[in-house]
């Protein structure tokens, strides 16, 4: 099974400042077609998770362009260029290259 490891587990950010979350997988998430099966989700307080990024770096419909995903193979990063108050919550990475699907532990982002 693939293990997903996120760092840091918590982050306190001043509004307008950037933020970065790292996610590492125990195996490569690269498909033979060149796509990477890495997702990022955000769970805002009291809400269901929502899809932010799919296929490593593609923003889901309606996701602001201050969010970006990058990385390759087993090392991935979610960046928020300028954090806003509405970005608070817990961010999860997830792999879907094989079953069982697996999530990272989550990174809690709060505003200073």
Partner 1 sequence: EVQLLESGGGLVQPGGSLRLSCVTSGFTFTTYDMGWVRQAPGKGLEWVSTISGSDGRTYYADSVKGRFTLSRDNSKNTLYLQMNSLRAEDTAVYFCAKDGTYIGGGSYYFLSHEYWGKGALVTVSS
Residues that bind partner 1 (CB under 8 A): 1, 35, 37, 39, 41, 43, 48-51, 54-55, 58, 60, 90, 92, 94, 96, 99-106
* Nearest to partner 1 of 37, 74 (CB atom): 37
The two beta strands, 19-25 and 4-7, are: antiparallel
Distance CA 19, CA 89 (A): 13
* Nearest to partner 1 of 14, 98 (CB atom): 98
Nearest-5° angle of CA 16, CA 105, CA 31?
95
* Nearest to partner 1 of 85, 99 (CB atom): 99
């Amino acid at each position: 099974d693939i293990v997903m490891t996120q760092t840091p587990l918590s982050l306190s950010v001043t509004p307008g400042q950037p933020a970065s979350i790292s996610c590492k997988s125990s195996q490569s998430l690269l498909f033979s077609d060149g796509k990477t099966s890495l997702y990022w989700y955000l769970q805002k307080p009291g809400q269901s998770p929502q899809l932010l990024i799919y296929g490593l770096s593609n923003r889901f419909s309606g996701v602001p362009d201050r969010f970006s995903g990058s990385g390759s193979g087993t090392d991935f990063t979610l960046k928020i260029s300028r954090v806003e108050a509405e970005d608070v919550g817990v961010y999860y990475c997830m792999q879907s290259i094989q079953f069982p699907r697996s999530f990272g532990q989550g990174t809690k982002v709060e505003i200073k």
